[in-house]
Amino acid sequence: MKKTAYLLIILFALVISLSANQRTWRLKQAEQLLSATGTQLQNSARHVLVYNPTQPQRVDSLITYSWAEQLLSWHLTEFQVNSWDTSGQNPLLTERFLQPGLPAWCKISRVYDNMGRLCHYYCDYLYDNEWECVFRQHYNYEGNHILSREDYHHEHFSNTRLYLSHVYTTDNAGRITMENRFCGEDSINWELDSSTAYAYHPNDVSNGEDYILKISSLDLLNHVCDLSVTGMVSEIIRSAMMDSLVLQERILCTYDASNRLSLVLKQNYADNWVDAAKSIYAYDINGNLQSIHRQNWDYELDDWSAPHEAYGFLWEEAATANDDDITPKPLYPMLMAGPNPCYHSLGIKPVGFAKTALTLEVYNLLGQKVKTIESTGGKELIWDCTDNRNKPIPQGIYFIRANQKGRTAVRKIVRL
């Protein structure tokens, strides 16, 4: 599955796990800031969590807004609704919507065994009014130890398939110490692709049950986390298969006096280990994660660059009154666009505008206008993802702005 597809499907596990021992606090809002090369961090995305009124730690829905720099305002991008089992402990179905009143474009279903462990995970996309599985995972356990995981990826437009198998070695506590990843064009013939070794901090007290709980729960901020396993990991070393296994990447983790993750340093191997990127974690006075700042190593300057990405987190006490408005109110006028992410073309329909002349403008993340399209309110059109010179636009994030005599609407889209 493309990286962008993960950003809302699995969004917030790190924050929930970090607050596991502080159940009076829950995450209310998370904001992502990005910067283009040489620019300051700017607003990018805002995620608002809506909790169940009777089960204050259960996330019923997640609403995502995108920042439109040209309008200096937030605009609804997407929302997801979660359905749970009767115990309220295991999420069964997650549906993703672009706008209220439109059908879901993505759904994620989960199957658990009689011990509450996640066994099967399915992600389906809606293509031409038919559901198609684009990603699935299958887990195998022995007691509180995970043994293996099989992945399946399907790219709809190129009709390519990829199969992955992860085989784990665990210690007596059930912590993962080695992960061998195999890949193949089917689910029968496998070739070793990479190998990853994990080491843990002396203060770590995690076990296999913690990891099983992590993958069985609703992993809502997983893409923010720099680590793929639970516990106080001190070092991760990845090797890639060439003619033989070759060192590729190392991750070093530093913890503060309260055993909280404070620094994640990523290094690449080229005859020796060289710094590549780092993430700095900060916490508020209540011990909740407050921010993450990410920087890359600038090889020309031989120093760390300015942060290129940051996350800020807003927390609330679980006893706080909650507005359980699962379905956001429609924003009119608005732009409908799909498929999003798109590849070679994108359908665009301005809704809530008069059926008269209307201008569509496409901007990149630098605020540069790349395309102008003259259209009509209420009319659906197909854009071929080209700029004003009729050249295909690069992959990335764009904003489409509709303007009709001062009435505007903005839609964020991703070109893959």
**Where residue 38 falls among pLDDT bands split at 50, 70, 90?**
low
Report pLDDT for 17.
Answer: 41
Whether residue 327 is contained in a domain is answered as no
307 and 398 fall within a common domain: no
Report pLDDT for 107.
Answer: 94
For the chain, give the mean pLDDT.
Answer: 83
**CA-CA distance, 154 to 147, in Å (whole number)?**
24
Which has more confidence, 52 or 132?
Answer: 132
Tell me which residue range forms the domain holding 14. 3-317
**CA-CA distance, 400 to 416, in Å (whole number)?**
16
Q: What is the mean pLDDT of the segment spanning 204-215? A: 87
**Where residue 230 falls among pLDDT bands split at 50, 70, 90?**
confident
Whether residue 79 is contained in a domain is answered as yes
**Where residue 211 falls among pLDDT bands split at 50, 70, 90?**
confident
Report pLDDT for 238.
Answer: 96
Q: Residue 208: give its domain's CATH number.
A: 2.40.160
Q: Name which of 283-297, 300-314, 319-333, 377-391 the model is least confident about.
A: 319-333
Domain boundary residue, one of 287, 317, 347: 317
pLDDT at 326 over 60: no
Q: What is the mean pLDDT of the segment spanning 338-350? A: 82
**CA-CA distance, 379 to 362, in Å (whole number)?**
17
Domain boundary residue, one of 317, 350, 372: 317
**Where residue 23 falls among pLDDT bands split at 50, 70, 90?**
very low
Q: How many residues does the chain have?
A: 416
Going from the C-alpha of 62 to that of each of 25, 78, 88, the distances in angstroms are 17, 9, 17
pLDDT tens digits, 89-143: 788 999 999 887 788 999 999 999 888 899 999 999 998 889 999 999 999 999 8
Residues 16/217, Cβ–Cβ less than 8 Å: yes
Cβ-based burial of 190 (10 A; exposed 0-12, middle 13-18, buried ≥19) = middle
**CA-CA distance, 120 to 149, in Å (whole number)?**
10
Any idea which residue has 């009143």 for tokens? Answer: 101
Report pLDDT for 174.
Answer: 93
Report pLDDT for 235.
Answer: 96
pLDDT at 58 over 50: yes
Whether residue 256 is contained in a domain is answered as yes
H or E segment to which residue 215 belongs: helix 208-216
Highest-pLDDT range among 151-160, 185-194, 263-272? 263-272
pLDDT at 8 over 50: no
Q: Residue 353: give its domain's CATH number.
A: 2.60.40.1930
DSSP collapsed to 3 states, 133-154 = EEEEEEEEEECCEEEEEEEEEE
Report pLDDT for 220.
Answer: 57
Report pLDDT for 218.
Answer: 64
H or E segment to which residue 249 belongs: strand 245-255
Report pLDDT for 416.
Answer: 81
**Where residue 12 falls among pLDDT bands split at 50, 70, 90?**
very low
Report pLDDT for 320.
Answer: 44
For the chain, the domain total comes to 2
Whether residue 215 is contained in a domain is answered as yes
Whether residue 279 is contained in a domain is answered as yes
Q: What is the mean pLDDT of the segment spanning 8-28? A: 49
**CA-CA distance, 106 to 126, in Å (whole number)?**
6
pLDDT tens digits, 62-91: 899 988 877 778 888 888 999 988 777 788
Report pLDDT for 266.
Answer: 96
193 and 302 fall within a common domain: yes
Whether residue 328 is contained in a domain is answered as no
pLDDT tens digits, 169-186: 999 999 999 999 999 888
284 and 348 fall within a common domain: no
Cis geometry, peptide bond prior to residue 333 (ω within 30 degrees of 0): yes
